[in-house]
Chains A and B, each alone.
Chain A
């Protein structure tokens, strides 16, 4: 596919952002009745919804672990989420891969030793996909787990970066991703800066690899600020609703 100009000579991308600008974030926590924790997360035009159940009794007792909780993750895309209508999404390989990747990310962060022989379910639903869905899902899942009150070592924040015309660009949308730019989603634990997920498609020179990774980590830190303030305002909301001042 021919690479159209992703960054104009003035330094603006097709949606008007600078190469180091992340898309606008909108967050809402605690939406559902039955789920223990939930979060609605928007990053530009990418919209995802995550519900978390747990820790609760294991559904298949053969899978129970005697010393920790089992993390179960399911990733789903709505049929109207992509440009073209997507038929039956259950059981696709991409879905299985993403479910596994996200499960592994959270297995490393959630304090599973505190809930042996139990299960924590993370259900991800993509309502609209415009690039960066796996990163949006990880961020939304992190917030939903916090909303459910399940203890974690740290936040998990994910962001993707690409490369165009000798400089890295952060947070690719669908158009930029499919225009041939390499796509590198990275997830970090912000306080320590350690990396919990790193993927890449296409090819990159080893020298540019570091620059792109730094760009992604930088994007993660920016998103972390927004997520932190969302958690704080949600906590304030809960505290206010419990107080007796009307």
Chain B
């Protein structure tokens, strides 16, 4: 559970649970309906890539910076992705100071896992000189406001930001001595990241015996189980992260099938929006009047 400040009365919990049994949620959605969300990329000009997702009241901003560093000892001919998530105090005062550390680590850890796999990103292509130079992609997410379903929003924003990222072309010039390399950056020619099939996470929350998608804070409070599936454009499951709760194998299987369908739809929508964005030159970022106020 991501929020501890919400106190629901037994009456409210009953109302939410009974409604879901009849496929009607508090805001009128069905079990597997997603809230409409807005997506905008390229709003932080100083970052290599950026994206902002506003899912009703959940506001997430992801910035990506690519830096040249030394490859890790365990993988000397690969680049890597380092993820950090910061839940800002603007989302909830309980995130002040070190209050959000545990949540940040949990969210960042899962994101980092699936991003550092060769199915998502060609890590070998990020390595310029084995053992000496490689690209490190820093993915930094800021959670600015939250009304539930943080995880999915983060994965959508991360995927969009990665697609939006552009890096300078680097040529390796061999020096006279062994192990002497010079790297020349051409700031004018930019290339996208060597992405393969970046998935998005779809979290299924169990309330009673039914599973719903895109839970609000109130619904998360009533839940007794949670599983998140990373789904790619082909509908394949790339990573799973199971939260609390006990479920049978058949229930899990059904949840997986639901997640696969929804994940594919989200990716399709995202690709359409990102394609349309290419013809828009003016970025509004936070100056856009919000749709949901």
Tell me which residues from 56 to 83 in chain B have a Cβ below 8 Å from any Cβ of chain A. Answer: 57, 59, 61, 63-65, 67
CB within 8 Å for A40 and B46 given contacts A79-B63, A123-B88: no
Q: How many residues on B have C-beta within 8 angstroms of the other chain's C-beta atoms?
A: 36
B147:A33 contact, CB within 8 angstroms: yes
Knowing A26-B287, A33-B145, A35-B145, say if A81 contacts B46 (CB, 8 Å).
yes
Decide: A34 near B146, CB < 8 A? Known: A79-B63, A121-B93. yes
Within 8 A of B (CB), among A28-68: 28, 30-35, 38, 40, 42, 45, 47, 49-51, 53, 56, 59
Task: Kindly supply a per-residue 1/0 record for chain A positions 165-192, scoring 1 wherever the CB is within 8 Å of any chain B CB and 0 otherwise.
Answer: 0000000000000000000000000000
Judge whether A74 and B97 touch: CB under 8 Å.
Answer: yes
A51-B89, A74-B96, A80-B64 as given contacts; A32 in contact with B145, CB under 8 Å: yes
Q: Check if B92 sits within 8 Å of A34, measured CB to CB.
A: yes
Tell whether, in the assembled complex, residue B63 and residue A80 are in contact, meaning their CB atoms are under 8 Å apart: yes
**Chain A interface size range:** 35 or more
Is B50's CB within 8 Å of the partner chain A? yes
The verdict on A127 contacting chain B, using a C-beta distance below 8 Å, is yes
User: Is A128 part of the contact surface with B, judged by Cβ < 8 Å?
Assistant: yes
CA gap between A5 and B166 in the complex, in Å: 31
- B residues 262-293 near A (Cβ < 8 Å) are 285-287, 289-290, 293
Which residue of chain B has its CB nearest to the CB of A85? B65
Of the listed stretches B29-37, B136-144, B198-206, B247-255, name the one at the interface; the rest are far from the partner chain: B136-144
**In whole angstroms, what is the CA distance A40 to B286 when docked?**
7
Task: Check if B138 sits within 8 Å of A79, measured CB to CB.
Answer: yes
**Does the CB pair A35–B142 fall under 8 Å?**
no
A43 to B147 CA separation, bound complex (whole angstroms): 29
**Looking at the complex, which one of B44, B98, B138 makes contact with A127 (CB distance below 8 Å)?**
B44
User: Interface on B for A, CB 8 Å cutoff?
Assistant: 44-47, 50, 57, 59, 61, 63-65, 67, 84, 86, 88-93, 96-98, 138, 140, 142, 144-147, 285-287, 289-290, 293
12 A-B pairs within 8 Å (CB atoms) are namely A31-B290, A33-B57, A34-B90, A35-B145, A47-B44, A47-B285, A47-B286, A74-B89, A90-B98, A121-B93, A123-B90, A127-B44
- A-B contact sample (17 more), CB < 8 A, given A49-B90, A80-B44, A83-B46: A28-B286, A28-B287, A30-B293, A33-B145, A34-B146, A50-B90, A56-B93, A72-B96, A74-B96, A76-B88, A80-B64, A82-B46, A121-B93, A121-B96, A123-B90, A125-B88, A127-B63
